[in-house]
Structure 1
């Protein structure tokens, strides 16, 4: 009895990894969804608005649309997880069939060996079998055969115990994955119901705005004018930063050429040919970089898709990059050079990567910050205060100022964020990790 108990315990520990594989997979999926679920739950508190004016309702529509997009993204994640779990279920079912087939085969072989031993069960028969040998070597071989057959039967029993435990564990694993799938189905239905409620709320808000077409256009014209003024200022500062970088690179090249001349003892002609002449021919749009800028640019590119959100706390992306029409509203087209991110009142803007503050300026009473990351520039707008100044070195996730909260619009707190490569405008969402 003690011998078989030891066999069972040994099999149990060998089989733990089988069940752990699916549990680990399910846990990883839950963790990924958990981050999305937390983001949605926290951002729901940003949707409240009680104002009835057009500007507030338009802002509320943007926040609600952002929340709907987040929920759709979460439902898509659930669908992807469902497909992963379905594949895992199919794999487990195939494994279970194989294990059951192996168990059946081993039981059949064990039954045959038991029947044989039963027919030759007496010690007298075994002794006669051994002593009836004609030579001593044959006697020895028969003695070994009897012992080995007994060992073979014992090992068969152990294999059956092991295989039976594998079957039981695989069944438990299969049931666990099925429960996870059932829970996921319920979660998806709950999210779909919430999405339907928000879609209806959005339709109501759109209908109210449609009745205020003139006020809506006035509000949009005001926003476009402010955006154009801001972008013109940013474009000018970016051009200045490009020129500064070009001069830094030219100075570095001049020093390297002077050092090379001194080392080789070449004449003034070589000095002139390796000086500023070639650099002056380079167009202003080319962000010529020195060694430090090149290294920082390379690090920045390697973190594409993994950069932190430029706001602290819960957030909703209320306006996306590029040109697009607002669903349900006639003649309402938006052109965003970056993205708008709504956070909680008191939220801070933070640097998305290591860099140097290229500019801090005020426009319409609000602060705006440009940070250079090699030949990339991140732009943070709509700050009520800035905690950095031009020339400061910043690190990833370092807070650089407080985002303005509009007390006239229920404390609405929105960061306008842009990303540039030289003068090229980039879609920040492709660079941020979410």
Structure 2
């Protein structure tokens, strides 16, 4: 009897847990999509520059391309969520089939026990069964059997009621998940229509720019000159920072060697010093770090894909890393050493990880900041002000300064962000949590 009661309780707990799991899955998927949807909605207002000059139209094209990329990412996320819900529906259907089969078996057993009791329903028959025992011990066992069988029949009836409740709950859960899927499919279709509208607008913008090839090429050359000037300055500062780190590592190694030599004999000490001189004479082939730098590098690398965006508030990536041609425009090729992130006026540049400010410099009237994270260096450009100084330690998400808002282009606010490992340029996007 106790075992039956335990089974009943376990079944109830399992069904309740599964129901909660489906609800949790739906809520998690909706939460992730909600964040993406909010991001898209907030960035739609960024496309408001109505000027017809090439610079403004190129900026609008970058924003529109970024919005299209975001919407495609959102639609891909919705498709992925549909697959997750389909898997959940399949699991729920299998559970429902199992519950129905279990209910059918229990009903059959209950029917047999009812028939048996009906045949032996009279009190006289039960008493005859009990008192016809050969001895007192058998009589007691038969009495206990009659009582336990009656309890067993009652529990079977309760199990059927509970099983039916489980089936009803599972059916309700299944319907809830189906409704979530239908809502998601409808939302995906709406987003596809919006995407088609944006792509049509982009084609119109590209067609206008194609008519202004000469002005377009001049604008591209101007942007390229500015980018080359900035990158050359960044490269020089990073080379200096690498050299500083190498000297710190050498100094640390010398101190450690001096400490070890105190514990060695005089002869061994001379031998070690001779070997050390020979090693020191060799050119340094690779970048070396102090223990503190190595630790910080390891911590930074282990957070790949989880680093916060280097801009506060809503944002959109308007230019990606690497060399690529602008779709629809002839002979328009871009080479971005980082990514360009557009936000709202007043947006702050913020540190993506703990580190130390390696440099703060001004170029063309705007501030640029380098933050060292061991062997990794993050670069924040196009700031109207800097709130940190060289040598200052910064923490994750700490504000570094306000991003410049270009009033000539309706307050266009763009952070140029780069990520390096020593001298190697990295694509920042896989490192950031989007």
Quote the Cα distance in structure 2 between the aligned partners of 1:387 and 1:240.
23
Quote the Cα distance in structure 1 between the aligned partners of 2:245 and 2:277.
16
Quote the Cα distance in structure 2 between the aligned partners of 1:13 and 1:241.
60
Q: Answer whether contact 1:257 1:271 (CA < 8 A) is retained.
A: no
TM-score, scaled relative to structure 2: 0.94
Question: Is 1:278 equivalent to 2:267 in the alignment?
Answer: no
SS in 1 for 2:384: strand
Q: Classify 1:373/1:94 alpha carbon distance in 2 versus 1 (closer, same or farther; 3 Å).
A: same
SS in 1 for 2:83: helix
Q: Classify 1:77/1:14 alpha carbon distance in 2 versus 1 (closer, same or farther; 3 Å).
A: closer
Q: Answer whether contact 2:321 2:427 (CA < 8 A) is retained.
A: yes
Quote the Cα distance in structure 2 between the aligned partners of 1:141 and 1:23.
50
1:393 Cα deviation after fit? 1.0
1:413 corresponds in structure 2 to 413
- What do you get for the CA RMSD once the two structures are aligned? 1.9
1:119 Cα deviation after fit? 2.1
Q: Classify 1:99/1:246 alpha carbon distance in 2 versus 1 (closer, same or farther; 3 Å).
A: same
1:287 corresponds in structure 2 to 287
Deviations 1:133-157 (A, max 9, x none): 3443433332222122112111211
1:39 Cα deviation after fit? 1.3
Q: Classify 1:360/1:30 alpha carbon distance in 2 versus 1 (closer, same or farther; 3 Å).
A: same
Instruction: Say which is worse superposed, 253-262 or 234-243, in terms of deviation.
Output: 253-262
1:362 corresponds in structure 2 to 362
Q: Answer whether contact 1:339 1:428 (CA < 8 A) is retained.
A: yes
Quote the Cα distance in structure 2 between the aligned partners of 1:31 and 1:362.
41
SS in 1 for 2:263: helix
1:3 corresponds in structure 2 to none
Quote the Cα distance in structure 1 between the aligned partners of 2:73 and 2:291.
41
Extract unaligned runs of 5+ from structure 1: 1-6
Alignment of 1:189-208 (within 5 A): 189-208=189-208
Alignment of 1:13-412 (within 5 A): 15-266=15-266, 267=269, 270-271=272-273, 273-274=275-276, 278=280, 281-283=283-285, 286-412=286-412
1:261 Cα deviation after fit? 2.2
2:428 corresponds in structure 1 to 428
Quote the Cα distance in structure 2 between the aligned partners of 1:187 and 1:216.
38
SS in 1 for 2:381: strand
Quote the Cα distance in structure 2 between the aligned partners of 1:343 and 1:363.
21
Q: Classify 1:99/1:292 alpha carbon distance in 2 versus 1 (closer, same or farther; 3 Å).
A: same
Q: Classify 1:404/1:272 alpha carbon distance in 2 versus 1 (closer, same or farther; 3 Å).
A: farther
Deviations 1:273-306 (A, max 9, x none): 43695276103xx321111111111111111111
Q: Answer whether contact 1:254 1:274 (CA < 8 A) is retained.
A: no
SS in 1 for 2:288: coil
Instruction: Say which is worse superposed, 102-111 or 128-137, in terms of deviation.
Output: 128-137
Q: Answer whether contact 2:349 2:400 (CA < 8 A) is retained.
A: yes
Quote the Cα distance in structure 2 between the aligned partners of 1:92 and 1:405.
52
Q: Classify 1:275/1:315 alpha carbon distance in 2 versus 1 (closer, same or farther; 3 Å).
A: farther
SS in 1 for 2:63: helix
Instruction: Say which is worse superposed, 250-259 or 264-273, in terms of deviation.
Output: 264-273
Q: Answer whether contact 2:15 2:170 (CA < 8 A) is retained.
A: no
SS in 2 for 1:258: helix
Q: Answer whether contact 1:89 1:177 (CA < 8 A) is retained.
A: yes
Instruction: Say which is worse superposed, 110-119 or 139-148, in terms of deviation.
Output: 139-148
1:9 Cα deviation after fit? 10
Deviations 1:167-208 (A, max 9, x none): 111111101111111111111111111111111111111111
Quote the Cα distance in structure 1 between the aligned partners of 2:11 and 2:423.
65
Quote the Cα distance in structure 2 between the aligned partners of 1:61 and 1:106.
67
1:34 Cα deviation after fit? 1.6
1:265 Cα deviation after fit? 4.8
SS in 2 for 1:330: coil
1:375 Cα deviation after fit? 0.7
Q: Answer whether contact 2:384 2:404 (CA < 8 A) is retained.
A: yes
SS in 2 for 1:385: coil
Q: How many residues align?
A: 426
Quote the Cα distance in structure 2 between the aligned partners of 1:99 and 1:198.
49
1:389 Cα deviation after fit? 1.5
SS in 2 for 1:418: strand
Instruction: Say which is worse superposed, 38-47 or 218-227, in terms of deviation.
Output: 38-47
TM-score, scaled relative to structure 1: 0.94
1:4 corresponds in structure 2 to none
Q: Classify 1:329/1:172 alpha carbon distance in 2 versus 1 (closer, same or farther; 3 Å).
A: same
